[in-house]
Structure 1
Amino acid sequence: MKAQSNVLVTGVSSGIGLAITESLTARNIRVFGSVRSQRDAERLLDTFKDQVVPLIFDTTDRDAVTAASEQVRELLKDDPLLGIVNNAGTGTAAPLLHVPIAEFRQQLEVNVIGTLNVIQQFLPLIQGSGKRPGRIVNIGSTAGRIGIPFFGAYAASKHALTGLSESLRRELMLYGVDVITVVPGPVKTAIWDKAEALNFSAYSDTPYVNLIQAFRDAMVRDGRNGMEPRIIGDTVFTALTAKRPKATYIRVAGLFSNWILPTRLPSRWVDKLIGDKVGLKLLSGPKNLRQSATNQSR
């Protein structure tokens, strides 16, 4: 009987992370899944039984991640991890001119620093004696290539994750460890219910307030018509197990209009297309950027 494989997946309580867990466990792969609460851990155990080992940690907490890696090491004994899947992340919507710096910093902390934190602590566990080294799979986003307005902090973090993944893949050639990026567009998850409830009153005295609300509504519509989460889960399985995996897997509903066009057209053309869609037009009357900066500092 073939020995069971093991994979670490971060952020498995819902959404894409949960779909990845479902895809892997359906193929007899045990998942060490990170969550941030005991309640989520108990729910995973109720659902997946011994196919999932919940790990309670925040990816940005170095001590907690170190402790979790030691816990996994003890449970694995001499077996390696088949892979590390970095899915945990967060997103926020705000005009860059007005986003609180602490909020912007948190995006980078979770989506970039947290990912590297997990990789540094768990990487030694994916190399087993005499076996093919495991792989790292990072969950990126189309926002890591296409900078969309009002999600600039998220886009910046995902651009950074793309660069981190490419640099790390080349550095780890020394050890035979592959780094693969899965790039989803909007995915049908409960995150869009949360997005619909966002309150943008903090920007009510800026020219952006109606634009950001309209853009949020468009994003929610796209999300609810987006990719099924199981497709992302199955893609992660492929990335972990394919004999010759791609460096990047693009999974986008409406591939031509939502990926091929905006990544092939000249940037100024894309500016125009997005600007027309969102309603970003030159303000009439006085354009007081100094007043905008003053409002942001309050």
Structure 2
Amino acid sequence: MKSVVITGASTGIGWASAKLLLDKGFAVFGSVRKEADADRLKAEFGAHFTPLIFDVTDEGAVLAAAREVRSALNGEKLAGLVNNAGISVAGPALSVSVDDFRRQMDVNVIGPIIATQAFGPLLGADQSLKGAPGRIVMISSVAGKNGNPFTSAYCASKHAVEGFSESLRRELMLFGIDVIMIAPGPVKTPIWSKGQEAVDVSRYRNSPYLPAVQKAAAFIQQLESKALPPEQIAALVFDALTLPNPKVRYHIAPDRIRYLLAAVLPKRTMDRIIAKRLGLMPPAK
């Protein structure tokens, strides 16, 4: 039975990926931060699911979990690592605190680095292990290629994930370990509600950004109603782990035309479109 580690398995993409992989005959190690979530998932998923309790930013705890997985594998290689855990920090770049920016980067960028270094040997960098090399799946975002107002911290983190993944894929060719990115648009996960709680519009009551922030918050609510089901992303995770020749990057978004325009139109043109939509144009002289 092949085994996979998934970070952030308690809800959303991580939960859906764990369920699908278990249904497909994998053994799944899923990370959670709370004992209650570990107990819940164990009850929901059964004998082939093993909870790992750690915060992805806690290097010591992640390394301890890797030792636990190594022991369970009994000399076999890990088939996959899905770096999924993430958060979303929102707000005008001039107003988001440095601490919030740092937390965003710690979870979304340093977390996958810690997990990759901890579990990389089990995927095949430790060549004493038996079996075929595993794969790393990085959950990125359409924000890994674009930048939108009031999501600068999140966009910066996903740009970093994409750069890290590109370099990592080429380095790990030495061991036969592939690295695949999945870049979804809006997904129906708790990251939306948590992100919206972070965008407390009232805190910008005396800011020139207030009208634009209000429009952006309304736009996010509109996007949430059209967001992708996490099961659709889970299906791509399964493909990335099992297809003989997976793509380097899977891009999936509910509104493909909008993201296609963002990819092909000149940046200055997109700047003006977004600024006009949100009321970010400078006052006429």
Instruction: Report the TM-score range of the alignment, normalised by the length of the smaller protein.
Output: over 0.9
Q: 2:151 aligns to what?
A: 151
Q: Say whether 1:106 aligns with 2:107.
A: no
Q: Where in structure 2 are the equivalents of 1:169-248 lying within 5 Å?
A: 169-197=169-197, 198-248=199-249
SS in 1 for 2:61: helix
Q: 1:30 aligns with which of 27, 30, 35?
A: 27
C-alpha separation in 2, matches of 1:68 and 1:196: 32
Deviation at 1:68, TM superposition (A): 0.5
Tell me the CA shift for residue 130 of structure 1.
5.2
The residue number in structure 2 matching 1:10 is 7
Q: Is the 8 A contact 1:111 1:158 kept in 2?
A: yes
How many positions carry a matched residue from both structures? 281
Structure 2 unmatched ranges of 5 or more: none
8 Å CA contact 2:109, 2:157 repeated in 1 = yes
Distance 2:189 2:246 in 1: 26
Any idea what SS the aligned residue of 1:34 has? Answer: strand
Unaligned runs of 5+ residues in structure 1 are 286-298
Q: Which secondary structure state, in structure 2, belongs to the residue aligned with residue 282 of structure 1?
A: coil
Q: What is aligned with 2:255? A: 254
- Pair 51,36 (structure 1): closer, same or farther in 2 beyond 3 Å: same
Whether the 8 Å contact between 2:76 and 2:131 is mirrored in structure 1 is: no
Q: What is the Cα deviation at residue 98 of structure 1?
A: 1.1
2:63 is aligned to 66
**How is 1:13-92 mapped onto 2 (pairs within 5 angstroms)?**
13-92=10-89
Query: C-alpha root-mean-square deviation of aligned residues, in Å?
Result: 1.5
| Structure 2 equivalent of residue 96 of structure 1 | 93
SS of the residue corresponding to residue 50 of structure 1 reads coil
1:135 aligned residue: 135
Amino acid at match of 1:273: I
- Conserved? CA contact 1:150–1:212, under 8 Å: yes
CA distance in 2: counterparts of 1:52 and 1:208, whole angstroms: 46
SS in structure 1 of the partner of residue 21 of structure 2: helix
In 1, Cα distance between the equivalents of 2:192 and 2:92?
19
**How far apart, in 2, do the equivalents of 1:159 and 1:205 lie?**
31
Name the SS for the 2:214 alignment partner. Answer: helix
Percent sequence identity over aligned pairs: 44
Provide the C-alpha distance between the structure 2 equivalents of 1:13 and 1:160, rounded to a whole number of angstroms: 24
Deviation digits for residues 9-60 of structure 1, max 9, x if unmatched?
0001111111111111110111100000001101101100112110000111
Evaluate the alpha carbon distance shift between residue 60 and residue 156 of structure 1 in structure 2; reply closer, same or farther with a 3 A threshold. same
AA at the equivalent of 2:47: D
1: CA distance between counterparts of 2:111 and 2:191? 20
SS at match of 2:46: helix
Contact 1:192 1:224 in 2 (8 A): no
Tell me how far apart the structure 1 counterparts of residues 86 and 182 of structure 2 sit (CA, whole Å). 14
| Aligned amino acid, residue 204 of structure 1 | R
With normalisation by structure 2, the TM-score equals 0.94
Counterpart contact for 2:88–2:194, Cα < 8 Å: no
